[in-house]
Amino acid sequence: MKLLLIGHPNVGKSVLFNRLTGANVTESNYPGTTVDYTKGYMQIDGEEVELIDVPGTFSLDPKDKAEEVAVKMLKDNEDSIVICVIDSTKIERGLYLALEIIEMGYPVVIALNMWDVAKDKDIEIDLQRLRELLGVPVVPTIAVSGWGVKELVSKIKDAKPRDISKIESKVEGTS
C-alpha cells in the first residue's frame, strides 16, 4: 500500500507531510523530469507505509511541469490511497481537485487543513453533512500544531473508492 499526499500549493501539505513521517525522508527527481518530490515512511497499525508528497497541483488537467508530474504519479501508483489536503478557507477549489481524484477511482481521505484559519475567518463547515455527501472520510486538521493529525491517520483505513454518480445523486436528492 502506498499513500499519496495531494493538494494545492500552499495548503500546508509539506507541514502535514512532516507531521506524518519521521526521518528517512528522501528527496528525489521524478524520472524524466526536473521536478523534485519527497518520499517518507509512516506507521499505520504497526505496518510501514510509504508516503509520497506529490508536488502541489491545482487540477489534474496539467498546466505546468509540476502538475504533469502529479498526474503521472497518480497514474503510476494505481493501488494507492490518496490523502487530499484542502485549505478549509478555500474549500470549493479543493473539492474540485478531490472530486477529480475520486472520479479516477482512488480511495480518498480528505484533510480539511488550516481549520483554525477557517474559524478565524468565520467560515463554518458542516463536517457531518460533507461526509454524508461525499461518502469519504473528512478530517479537520491544523498541521502546524499537529491537531487532528492522529485522527487523520486513524481514518486512512476507512478510505474506499467512491462512485461519482453516487455523490451526484446524493446532492440531487437533497436539493
Partner 1 sequence: MECEIDERWKLVDRIAEETVTYGDGKTTLKDAIAELTVKPLTGLPIALAVLYGFWSFFSAFAGFFTDGFFVRLFDNHWLPWLQGVFPGKGSWYYFILVGDPAAGNSFEAFGMLTSGLFVAIGIVLPAITAFYLYLIILEDSGYMPRLAVLIDTLLHKIGLHGFAIVPMILSLGCNVPGVAATRTLQTKKQRFMMITLLAIFIPCGAQLGVIFSLIPEFAGIILLYLLIGFIFFGFILHKVIPGKSPEILIDIPPYRTPSLENVSKKLWVRTKGFFTTAIPFVLLGVGLVNVLYLGGVIDWLAEALGPLLTTWFGVPKETVGPLVAGFLRKDLAVAQLSAIEMTKYQLISSVVLVNLYFPCIATFIMMMKEGSERGVRGVLEILGGSLLVLATVLFIWGGLLHLIWIMMGVA
Partner 2 sequence: MDENMKDKIGGLYFGVFGIVVFLVGILEIGLGVLNKTVHFGPLIFSGYFMLWRGAILFFAGIFYLLSVKKFSDVHQKAKAMVASIMIWIIAGTQIFSIILDSIIGDGSRWFNTWEGFLSSYAPPYIPSIILLPFTLVVAYYVLSNKDTDEKNEMIE
Taking CB within 5 to 8 Å according to partner kind, which of partner 1, partner 2, none is near residue 129? Answer: partner 1
137 binds partner 2 (CB under 8 A): no
Window contacting partner 2 (CB under 8 A); options: 40-48, 69-77, 82-90, 119-127:
119-127
State the minimum distance, in angstroms, from the CB of residue 153 to partner 2: 18
1 binds partner 2 (CB under 8 A): no
Helix (H) or strand (E) holding 73: helix 65-76
Say how far apart CA 163 and CA 90 lie, in whole Å.
Answer: 24
107 binds partner 2 (CB under 8 A): no
Taking CB within 5 to 8 Å according to partner kind, which of partner 1, partner 2, none is near residue 122? Answer: partner 1
State the minimum distance, in angstroms, from the CB of residue 119 to partner 2: 8
140 binds partner 2 (CB under 8 A): yes
Taking CB within 5 to 8 Å according to partner kind, which of partner 2, partner 1, none is near residue 150? Answer: partner 1
Task: Answer for the pair 8, 93: CB distance below 8 angstroms, yes or no.
Answer: yes
Beta bridge mates, 2: 50
127 binds partner 2 (CB under 8 A): yes
Q: Which is nearer to partner 1, 35 or 88 (CB)?
A: 88
123 binds partner 2 (CB under 8 A): no
120 binds partner 2 (CB under 8 A): yes
> In the block, which residue shows the cell 508536488?
55
Here the cell at position 73 is 504519479
Task: Answer for the pair 116, 140: CB distance below 8 angstroms, yes or no.
Answer: no
Pair type for strands 138-140 and 47-53? unpaired
Taking CB within 5 to 8 Å according to partner kind, which of partner 1, partner 2, none is near residue 34? Answer: none
Q: What angle do CA 96, 102, 47 make, to 5 degrees?
A: 120
What is the identity of the amino acid at 161? P
Q: What are phi and psi of 47, to 5 degrees?
A: -100, 140
